[in-house]
Amino acid sequence: MATAQKINPLKSIGKVFLPNANLSSGAFQILILFQVALALLLWFNSPSKVIPRPGEVYEAWGNLWHNMGLGQELLNSIGTNVKALTISTGICLVLSYLTVMPFFRPIVQLLSKGRFLSMVGFTFVFTMMIGGGAELKLSLLVFGMTVFFLTSMAAVVAEIPKEQMDYARTLRMNEWKVVWEVVILGTFDKALEVMRQNAAIGWMMLTLVEGSQRSLGGVGALLLNEQKHLKMPEVFAIQITILVLGLCQDFILGLLRKFLCPYASLSLERK
């Protein structure tokens, strides 16, 4: 019986500069390790005095964790982020699916234009409407995530091919059944991918949102306090911590999409 021939990763790595080339998993891992090692080498040998060395960042992280309550602040921020992501996802999915009815299309288009608005000018408006405290922090984060999520998800619904809709009609489905099968179930994998992409916006907005309510704490407020005193090792330590958390969040959402929608990548050239 013929056995599958193993691909030498070192031979496959030679394709890294070829357009549309597919690397083996081993070659791709080697490429990642090489680029990470190169980034660390550049960091260790950075001539800039503004960028702290890895040892300084590590010491600063230990100080933040043991003496500044970084762990508690992270839990605070993660809780706020998860709540905002859950609320914004629910709002955006409902509004996006409602665009199957012409009445809601102008409303969704208008709301999606909110992504051009500055959050700074709306902080006072939200304060007058909602008040301060955790509700204000959560509402600002939900608004910032919703306008971007809604833009992407409404585009997914609008770009459903007409052939898919017509095929469902030929199966004698009524229009509401077509909406369920084609619009909602048919775009579920894309909805998860849009949620995954827009989940990162919450971490980007964290400093602004938590900075408006510093008394409530959070890693964003801690970051602003350290930056105010020009403690760059501490700033880099917090930023790297946020980056690691964001990557973990992205990885978990990616696994969720693969588990719930294993068919989503079957037709892709690069899986």
Q: What is the pLDDT of residues 93-122, one digit of tens each?
A: 999 999 999 999 999 999 988 888 777 777
Q: Which residues of the chain are modeled with pLDDT < 70?
A: 1-14, 48, 265-271
* DSSP class per residue in the chain: -PPPPPPPHHHHGGGTTSTT----HHHHHHHHHHHHHHHHHHHHT---SSSPPHHHHHHHHHHHHHHS-HHHHHHHHHHHHHHHHHHHHHHHHHHHHHTTSGGGHHHHHHHHGGGGS-HHHHHHHHHHHH-SSHHHHHHHHHHHHHHHHHHHHHHHHHT--HHHHHHHHHTT--HHHHIIIIIIITTHHHHHHHHHHHHHHHHHSHHHHHHTTGGG--HHHHHHHHHHTT-HHHHHHHHHHHHHHHHHHHHHHHHHHHHH-GGGGTT-S--
Domains observed in the chain: 57-260 (1.10.3720.10)
Q: What is the pLDDT of residues 33-58, one digit of tens each?
A: 988 899 888 888 877 677 888 888 99
Answering whether pTM is above 0.85, one says no
